[in-house]
A and B are shown apart, each in its own frame.
Chain A
Amino acid sequence: MKMKTLTRWVVLFTAAALLTFPMQAMGGEVYKLGLSLAITGPTSDAGNPYSKGVEDYFNYVNDMKLLGDDTIDCTIRDDQYKNDVTRRNFEEFLDDGIVFYLNYSTGSTLALKRDFEEEMIPVIPASFHAGNLVDSNYIFLPIASYSAQVIGLAEYIVANHKDGAPKVAMFIHPSAFGRGPVEDVQKAVGAGLDMEIIEVVEHGKDLDNTAMLKRLKSKGVQYVISHTVQSPVATMLKDASSLSLMAGSFGEAGKLTFLGAHYTGGNDLVALAGPSSENFYWTTSYIVTSEPSKGADMQLDLAKKYNRDDKAANSHNYANGMMVAQVATECIKRAKAKGKEITKETLYEELLAMNGDNAFSPGTTVGPVTYSETDKAGVDTLQLYVVKDGQFKSAGEPFVPEYTEKIK
């Protein structure tokens, strides 16, 4: 009798063990990632939709089982644009064992650069500052650097301006983020880009730019290239509009034509500047939802699936967030396909191999994402957009700035 009971228990235990074992095996791996960014505080107008883009895409990957039974667990922390909080978040992520890190600001990327090197962890920041790549092996810019964007705008001015060398002013953020590309544009001019930089204006928190605009006009400035965030540009455009200085078409004589790099434009600028944003020229490597494309549909569908409002759904920063999540997911997918274990090292290898036939087209950008040992800027192609009837529309075909290579 005792023997019978014992046997019964053994059978039950074995059955339970057999049942639970495959359950565990089928549960799949969880890949930990981390993102620290400004969801609140300064620059949160960009950081907020960016975080939603990242969150929604990783949710999509898990919900649609794009990695099979494996899932991505990306912890998103708000650092309020404070470098010390970013450092703390990064340490927390490392304690948690992340294999890929997504960062945000220029300041924190530069501050943590040495830590990324020591940890040998691949990092994609939301900052396109060329300085991020100096003495760095593990930072990968998602798209062309700010310098490349500003040089691209300068090249466009030179190519389309009539009557001699154009006179250009630069309107920049009062920080290293804003100042970074100035030197590179000056180098490009030195290397033969036929234009004249009349003045570099570091804006403050001015609510009125009348004096500045009148000064630029009196100096004969014809074009203003902005490299800052949207609100100061919106203030400037409104003032230019009220002073009747805004060019009705590109390079209109006697008027100012305004152009800007990635963080100056997008729907937020149109919302802030209203009709004054008409004819503002903007460059980025991302698609916009005001132009029909497969990528735009994908962006809008994703936002709809996760109940995002129209503002977030149409934001180029939402596309920005989606894109970095797509790149991280693609690396994991490729490493898995090769039967590799998902680690910091293997994901780094996959990023470096993302070129040539292995280039990745996420759909949210105007060109493919390519990385290699010598190329750490993802999408090299830029697209010029112009505001027409309150919407950004493509102006010409995607292009790659020539002088970025010439000044290296």
Chain B
Amino acid sequence: MASNRWLATGNYFTSYREEQRIFFTSLDRSAMILFIVLCFAWPLLFDVGNKYMLVIDNILLAIIAVIGLNLVTGFAGLISIGHAAFVGIGAYTIASFATVLGDRHIIITHCWPLLILLSGFMGALFGALVGLPAMRLKHLYLAIATLSFQMIFEWVINFMNFFNQGQTIPVGRVYWLTGKVMRNDHYLFWYYVILAIIVVIGFGARNLLRTRYGRCLIAVRDNDRAADAMGMHPGLTKVYAFGLAGFCAGITGALHAYLNRGVGIDSFTLHHSINYLAMAIVGGLGTLHGSFWGPIAIKVLDLQVERFSEWAGSHITAATNLTTALKPLSFGLVIVLFLMFEPRGIANWWRIARSYIKLWPFRY
């Protein structure tokens, strides 16, 4: 153990348990607590309006989904191109209740925490089902299996009357201790709910990775035969990884349904699956905090490109084609550049910055 628990400049672990600590120094712990407190406190001090609150809520939602995707793709090494469909499973769980019971039924409006949890389990169930081929398939073949699920999901929703053929199924406003959450407080209320869930899921995932179940994921990713030889069950581990990813996705979907007060298929398409994958890559596959960086980077990039497109459209004559192409172009370019020059994602920049600060003023 370092003599100064606030400013340790090196690793002083004397046991495996110490190495597995969530926070290495007291400074880390305090900074994290302060950061979480600030995340909860800032909306009380600043009013950013509903538009930006909605943007922030959407970033937070993507963070939960990408944590799940990172568990299956980053930590377990299984490519999933159907993550948006798992998010959709969560959303359509809520939508199914709304269709059967009515969107203002007390179960929808009052028992929403239970429904969100149930949606998570539905996502986990479908995740595990889709993960079954992972027991026999690998790499590209597995990716195609997940893609198939995405296609089947879209087809089913688009053609079933029960799901309103993909058009919006409304979801009623929820109640909280203070009464019905009305329009003015809607986005702020869901900001706090999503933030609380992120804190729980974030620490949950961090803890999971410290356990044998978490280490199993990494072992199977690195070499499934070696993992098998060491007594792990690679097949079940893969199914369980998909289940975990499905759980996070299901929770995201349910929150999405409540946040947008409705569910429609256009939020769960293949394009969204690719988007989640891009967020995981840009953030840094196989790192927990990469799941935070990726959604922030991609969503902010999206907004900035949108603004630039608008500007270009209003200043350059016949710029429609250019502006139409700008968003997918910038999106694709960012992924390619990250894959070429920084495959470890933004998380690696964070790691470099941290180690620099840790060693400062020494360079080595």
Verify if A380 is at the interface (C-beta below 8 Å from B). Answer: no
Q: Please report the number of residue pairs spanning A and B whose Cβ atoms sit closer than 8 angstroms.
A: 78
Chain B residues, CB < 8 A from A92: 49-51
Within B114-160, which residues are at the interface with A (CB < 8 Å)?
158
Could you name 7 residue pairs across A and B whose Cβ atoms are closer than 8 Å? A44-B320, A88-B55, A92-B50, A95-B50, A106-B167, A119-B183, A175-B167
Chain B residues, CB < 8 A from A44: 320, 324
Verify if B287 is at the interface (C-beta below 8 Å from A). Answer: no
Verify if B327 is at the interface (C-beta below 8 Å from A). Answer: yes
Q: Which residue of A lies closest to B260 (CB)?
A: A87
CB distance from B308 to the nearest CB of A (A): 12
Q: Are A176 and B51 neighbours in the complex by a CB distance under 8 Å?
A: no
Chain A residues, CB < 8 A from B262: 111, 114
Can you list, as one digit per residue, whether each of A92-117 has a CB less than 8 Å from chain B (1) or not (0)? 10110000000000110011011100
B interface residues with partner A (beta carbon < 8 Å): 49-51, 54-55, 58, 158, 164-168, 170, 183, 187, 260-262, 264, 266-267, 306, 309-310, 313, 320, 323-324, 327
Q: Are A82 and B266 neighbours in the complex by a CB distance under 8 Å?
A: yes
Report the interface size for chain A: residues with CB under 8 A from the other chain.
32
5 smallest CB-CB distances across A and B, nearest first, come from A40-B324, A92-B51, A176-B167, A91-B50, A95-B49
Q: Are B164 and A176 neighbours in the complex by a CB distance under 8 Å?
A: yes
Q: Are A39 and B313 neighbours in the complex by a CB distance under 8 Å?
A: yes
Q: Are A111 and B166 neighbours in the complex by a CB distance under 8 Å?
A: no
Secondary structure of the B contact surface, majority rule: helix
Bound complex: CA A39 to CA B323 (Å): 9
Verify if A29 is at the interface (C-beta below 8 Å from B). Answer: no
Q: Which residue of B lies closest to A119 (CB)?
A: B183
Q: Are A84 and B260 neighbours in the complex by a CB distance under 8 Å?
A: yes
Bound complex: CA A44 to CA B321 (Å): 10
Chain A residues, CB < 8 A from B306: 78, 85
Bound complex: CA A92 to CA B49 (Å): 8
Q: Are B324 and A41 neighbours in the complex by a CB distance under 8 Å?
A: yes
Chain A residues, CB < 8 A from B49: 91-92, 95
Verify if A397 is at the interface (C-beta below 8 Å from B). Answer: no
CB distance from A118 to the nearest CB of B (A): 5
Contacts A44-B324, A111-B262 given: A175-B183 contact, CB under 8 Å?
no
CB distance from B279 to the nearest CB of A (A): 15
Chain A residues, CB < 8 A from B324: 40-41, 44, 80
Within A111-143, which residues are at the interface with B (CB < 8 Å)?
111, 113-115, 118-119, 131
Chain A residues, CB < 8 A from B187: 91
Bound complex: CA A88 to CA B261 (Å): 13
Q: Are A40 and B309 neighbours in the complex by a CB distance under 8 Å?
A: yes
Chain A residues, CB < 8 A from B55: 88
Chain B residues, CB < 8 A from A85: 306
Q: Among A39, A77, A85, which residue has the most Cβ atoms of chain B within 10 A? A: A39
Given contacts A91-B49, A114-B261, 9 further A-B pairs with CB under 8 A are: A39-B313, A77-B310, A84-B267, A88-B51, A107-B167, A111-B260, A115-B261, A175-B166, A179-B165
Verify if A174 is at the interface (C-beta below 8 Å from B). Answer: yes
Chain A residues, CB < 8 A from B168: 83, 107, 110-111, 113
